[in-house]
Structure 1
């Protein structure tokens, strides 16, 4: 499954490189690479159990970059930052969205400006930058014996680094949710909802599913089976599940991203068409609207 997933991704990357415009080519390749990379790291971790910590960290760092790339893809699909600002020059971002403020409906809407776009991009970029730094720090502490992944006592480093990573993750996911709520209607013709769903599935399966299985293993709910301990069996189960899930997501991503979608109309042309529609007289005859004022037969 891992081999097939990588072959499908290579074929898709060649297609994207040849058919997709250069200004959004790299971000789409990065996003499509998430599932094959996670499947590859899971396969390596399954066959070489002692490398599990390194493979998990590699997959986590890669997906941290993908979160930033997904936000950039939505901006580029709108034609870039300048065209996005033109399309929504009088619009407002709805910031009462998940995962931070989905329950805070009283929050005011924020105007869409160059400054607010900068803060949204900074929210995802900080995670892409700080996650590798924290992973490097974890490996350094692990080599010194100060970091144990399953030691969640307050005196250990794992609990504090994990909590900090969790906060950074929530902060990074918030701008993506804000941007998606703003552009999902505009980019509906480009199937942004299935693309966002695939991105969410990778996030949930790679983080939430792995965390649940690790907790079950630490509580000995997943029993040990010599020569594998409970934690080793939990990691083994997580890797097996991820390989199958990322294989399916790779195939679905190929269907969604390989299609060629029409480009959005420039904002000036959309404004001209709306003005022309307002000036065209319309009458209703037998429930049918005719733009030329003649009855429809």
Structure 2
């Protein structure tokens, strides 16, 4: 007696779950290092300037894959870019686990950035292939959730856990390995015919160039604003309150509020004016911190 093959819809759902898991864990691996900065300062005696530079160098590795990962996956296939990219980020996490000197931290963060860029760009395209506009939204939510949860959980582990320098990296690596394995297994039987896909159809009167003309100028400021919120601002707090848990809570608040705002903005169709309002609110936030 033979077992019937899973229905195509079930195959696509499992494949999408695997892709979203990879995006969550990759975002986790990319951002949880923020909560490790105060731990590395305390236990390894590394300077704040060095650790801030280590955190930021991730962006140098991220950019090429983020820009070209989607286009590369158009030619080679989504899995051929996403799964190696997530694995590269996993390797970077392991490097950060075993090397806490300046060279090891720089190399580890750079490797994480390279892998994350490939996984994020192609992973978002993969999710879009599987569920169209819904897939694009789910990919953004999954990635932002990983960005928020990574520092929060690692901050708690580093603050209250038994091995603050190792346990957060071990957990991140384990989650990444599990997600890559799940995505590999669950996407294997899903051979996507053209009829199975739900492509994104541009809205009437909208263009990619028009969207990019609004989003690209704001993108560096969005990255800077949220990073300053959970990397720079916690460092200004009195030492009696500063620590990895505070950094993690700041990341959860900053990125979590971003997820909520995105959901509301999409539902109410606020459009590009939301970016302008966001920039104004960010400026007000900087002024409040400066005044405090």
With structure 1 as the length reference, what TM-score do the two structures score? 0.28
Higher helix share: 2
Which has more radius of gyration? 1
